[in-house]
Amino acid sequence: MTSPIVDVHPELFHYTNTDGLAGILKSQVLWATHTAYLNDASEFRIFQERLPEILKPAIKAGITELVGKSDANKVLIAQHGGIDEFVTKATPQTSAGMYEALLDFAEPFIASFCTAEPGPIAQHGLLSQWRGYGREGGYAIVFDTEKLGRLVEAEGQKWGYDLFGGDVVYSDDSADKIRLEFEAQFSDLASAMMEFLIAGGKSGPLEKTYPALIQCACRYKHWGFREEHEVRIIEIPPNDEIFAEQQRRGLATERKPRHHFMRDATLVPCIHLFEGITHYPDRLLPIKRIIVGPHRDKDERRRTTESLLQECQLSIPVMVSEIPYIGN
């Protein structure tokens, strides 16, 4: 995680149920879920809607340069209706092809957190999250962002795969905000696309677009989820082909284990973040406090949570949300 996240969000909130709370406290790891199994049906695909507008200027500049280099290129483009017409047709096709290749290439895993400004929400939690747990209640585990960031760095160093974090950017954010958030990635996409076109369509330059495209796709989400104010830790372990190449070069000897958990009779793939890094008693998850969600028996839940913490030999304050919501 980069320092601006720490500056803006000194705390991160992870909402979970009873089993999730007990699992995190006992194992001292967090689960990062495969993007195909998250609760957003458009996850990882929705950014494709933005991609043509990002690539179009670079495609036009590259085609213009190619036309200026060769009469044959000029005739070819003229046969397709000129530069503007060719670019209008080629841009969505290129975007779709890149995205399909990306989906085959990358399998991101995501651990999600919410943010809260200092005040009532930081003390009592988000009502929208408590509603998601209904009568079951729920818990918010509050993490120290800076210390969590150090664990993220250790995770990346241990396993040698791509790992990054950031605020989620929502689809109804202004074009200026989106461009500012993804300034470096947009620049990388444009320059790689120019290089690809000038190189005559060789695949090498196009492969340079994937790291930037992955970062954008993993941090971009439908506006309907805005109230979550989400921050993500995103892990992209190498696929079979890349890992085999890393082994061949002596860059990797061990592969990060993949796990599964059951949800609605479906096995969901996940990765255990900080597995082998966090451990009792001297390197624990940086949990600052636990908030017990609204519930008819919230005081009893506070007592059982404190009992669980004693069992795990953890000293963590337990708060009770005072939001008067009792479920459906």
Length of the chain: 328
Residues 203 and 260 reside in one and the same domain: no
Residues 289 and 251 reside in one and the same domain: yes
* 58 within some domain: yes
C-alpha 208: how far from chain center: 20
Closest CA to 50 of 231, 210, 173, 201: 173
CA angle at 173 for the pair 30 and 119, rounded to the nearest 5°: 55
What domain count does the chain have? 2
Please, how many CA atoms are within 13 Å of residue 81, restricted to the half-sphere of its CB? 7
Residues 256 and 189 reside in one and the same domain: no
Q: List the chain pLDDT tens, one digit each, 328 residues.
A: 444 688 889 999 999 999 999 999 999 999 999 998 988 878 888 999 999 999 999 889 888 888 888 888 888 888 888 899 988 998 998 888 888 888 777 889 999 999 998 899 999 999 989 988 877 789 999 999 999 999 999 998 888 777 888 999 999 999 999 999 999 999 999 888 888 888 766 666 777 888 899 999 999 999 999 998 999 999 988 777 777 887 888 776 788 899 999 888 889 999 999 999 998 888 999 999 999 999 889 999 999 999 999 999 999 999 999 998 876 5
Residues 193 and 308 reside in one and the same domain: no
Q: By the 8 A CB rule, do 33 and 109 touch?
A: yes
Residues 318 and 196 reside in one and the same domain: no
Q: By the 8 A CB rule, do 74 and 27 touch?
A: no
Closest CA to 271 of 288, 262, 259: 259
DSSP-assigned beta bridge partners for residue 140: 15, 291
* 227 within some domain: no
Write the CA distances from 227 to 126, 127, 265, integer angstroms. Answer: 9, 10, 29
* 122 within some domain: yes
Residues 259 and 282 reside in one and the same domain: yes
* 298 within some domain: yes
* 123 within some domain: yes
Q: Give the other-Cβ count within 10 Å of 328's Cβ.
A: 6
Q: What is the pTM of this model?
A: 0.88
Write the CA distances from 32 to 37, 111, 146, 233, 250, integer angstroms. Answer: 11, 4, 19, 8, 27
Q: What is the pLDDT of residue 1?
A: 43
Q: What distance in Å separates the CA atoms of residue 114 and residue 305, rounded to the nearest whole number?
A: 21
Q: What distance in Å separates the CA atoms of residue 316 and residue 74, rounded to the nearest whole number?
A: 70
Residues 79 and 199 reside in one and the same domain: yes
* 226 within some domain: no
Residues 53 and 178 reside in one and the same domain: yes
* 139 within some domain: yes
Q: Which two tokens stand for residue 50?
A: 């933005």
Cβ-Cβ contacts under 8 Å for 179 (sequence gap 6 or more): 186
Residues 273 and 147 reside in one and the same domain: yes
* 228 within some domain: no
Residues 313 and 237 reside in one and the same domain: yes
Q: What residue numbers bound the domain in which 191 lies?
A: 45-107+172-221
Helix (H, G, I), strand (E, B) or coil at 148: helix
Please, what's the b/e burial string for 142-151 (b: 16 or more CB within 10 A of its CB; e: otherwise)? bbbbeebbeb
Residues 103 and 144 reside in one and the same domain: no
Residues 134 and 210 reside in one and the same domain: no
